Amino acid sequence: MTEVMTDQGIQEILSQLGIQEINNGASTGGKWFKTRGERIESYSPVDGRLVATVNAATEVDYEAVILKAQEAFKVWRTIPAPKRGEIVRQLAEKIRFYKEPLGKLVSYEMGKSLQEGLGEVQEMIDICDFAVGLSRQLYGLTMHSERPGHRMYEQYHPLGIVGIISAFNFPVAVWNWNTALAWVCGDVCVWKPSEKTPITAIACQQITKEVFDANGVPEGVSGLVIGGAEIGKLMAEDTRVPLISATGSTRMGKSVGATVGARLGRSLLELGGNNAIIITPSADLKMVVPGAVFGAVGTAGQRCTSTRRLIIHDSVYDKVKEALVKAYAQLRIGNPLDQHNHVGPLIDKAAVEAYLDALNKATKEGGKILVEGDVLTGEGYESGCYVQPAIVEAENHFQIVQHETFAPILYIMKYSGGVENAIKLQNNVPQGLSSAIMTNDLKESEAFLSNAGSDCGIANVNIGTSGAEIGGAFGGEKETGGGRESGSDAWKVYMRRQTNTINYSDSLPLAQGIKFDL
């Protein structure tokens, strides 16, 4: 049964999350500031209803948050990492407690399905669990010195303030991907969430505040500044913020990267994707269809790992095309709080315009529409943000195909000959985030994963491009930005490496056998 959200229902969710009043857009964790910036109104793309309004942070508010973060870092970095990990463990338990209302708020404010909203909150829990174990494994190396009576080793120290700029499509998980690791590493964090989803950010800050207050965590370890591009610009230019982790468009990432690079700061950039699935003659159609369809229409095509292109061998092209068109005819589009629906709305009407523009450009370049795209109207679609997922026969070199459109548009194209031809097509785009191949041929799968194979940060065999487990490092190459978040050794980006040499002998031999007698 579809849940129709009312003003009372919205207030109940916010109340369950401990949010009594929303009018302040900056926080140091222990304190909310009465911000006086422009009023940001958050409307749900589900039904067009106002979720809440909040005052944006000003430059004065930003400065206050940064100063408090600097003070907090001096204390937080001295707390043993396992003790910091224990606090993150408690945060995971608190998020578990709030999983249902937070997941519902994510779904309603952003527009993704309730299952995906709950799944995103589960990612927060998972990364906290990962970080707890990591807090006892911040390893360095020990090296043998060429000088007798000497020991060499390396260790990692926290950087300081980590600035987090996140996007609307994963309004809570990406923040926690960064914070959980940064906090156990001894860093403090200041977060600028997307101004399209500010209420979920306030909810996360409130949940964190409960845990941090109970543990006496210094005010400033978790900072929040809600605002537009001007806040992001302040953060990128600020030499007191050694690391900026930015998730969003390639255009935004190039600006942030250039600004941070000009002051020799560090950037962790997670930007656009133009992800393809290669479908070979031996592929199992029962795996191809659900993998491709979910990858293309999940979150209404608003994932950086969404499937944008299918590169299909000409011998199975017609068969795959027919199966896809049949599957698209079964898609249910509507209120994402109804778990029977497959596709929810786009984030706003600007995204709808971008979707329509992309379809228009695809046909002008010679693309053939297989499944018509359109804006849906009528009962249940009053927000004007619901669109029909589309399939377009296209060529990889089309300008619009080379571009990432954050919408449910799937471009399909043929390849002939060996798998190397498909890999060449897949790699021939500016982005390099996620990729996949559907094959039962061992040689093809190994070629895809080889040095001459996929040039993406993520390469999958017999699963789609969309979604990733937190245990592996997440990110991509080329215009995707080169950053890595989440699992594996991604924690190292939040720390500075230091090489140490200890002389425990009675003499001072110099390296490389140099003599310097006085």
% of the chain at pLDDT higher than 70: 99
**Res 240 pLDDT > 60:** yes
Q: Which region among 20-24, 266-270, 281-285, 394-398 has the lowest average model confidence (pLDDT)?
A: 20-24
**Res 16 pLDDT > 70:** yes
Of the candidates 391, 407, 171, which has an alpha carbon nearest to the alpha carbon of residue 301? 407
**Res 67 pLDDT > 70:** yes
List, for residues 405-463, the tens digit of each pLDDT value.
999 999 999 999 999 999 999 999 999 999 999 999 999 999 999 999 999 999 999 99
Annotated catalytic residue, options 128, 189, 204, 304: 304
pLDDT band at 3 (very low <50, low <70, confident <90, very high): low
pLDDT of residue 401: 98
Annotated catalytic residue, options 270, 404, 444, 485: 270
Q: What is the mean pLDDT of residues 357-367?
A: 98
Q: How far apart are CA 462 and CA 442, in angstroms?
A: 11
List, for residues 98-147, the tens digit of each pLDDT value.
999 999 999 999 999 999 999 999 999 999 999 999 999 999 999 999 99
The CA radius of gyration of the chain, in Å to the nearest whole number, is: 25
Token readout for 29 is 């964790």
Q: What is the mean pLDDT of residues 31-49?
A: 92
pLDDT band at 1 (very low <50, low <70, confident <90, very high): very low
pLDDT band at 33 (very low <50, low <70, confident <90, very high): confident
pLDDT of residue 42: 96
Active site residue 270: yes
**Res 2 pLDDT > 80:** no
Alpha helices in 300-441 (DSSP H): 317-328, 349-364, 399-402, 419-427
% of the chain at pLDDT higher than 90: 92
Q: Are 440 and 411 in contact (CB under 8 A)?
A: no
pLDDT of residue 9: 86
Q: How far apart are CA 113 and CA 345, in angstroms?
A: 9
pLDDT band at 510 (very low <50, low <70, confident <90, very high): confident
Q: How far apart are CA 6 and CA 84, in angstroms?
A: 40
Q: How far apart are CA 131 and CA 162, in angstroms?
A: 16
Residue matched to tokens 């315009």:
353
Active site residue 420: no
pLDDT band at 34 (very low <50, low <70, confident <90, very high): confident
Q: How far apart are CA 165 and CA 496, in angstroms?
A: 21
Q: What is the mean pLDDT of the chain?
A: 96
Q: Are 226 and 164 in contact (CB under 8 A)?
A: no
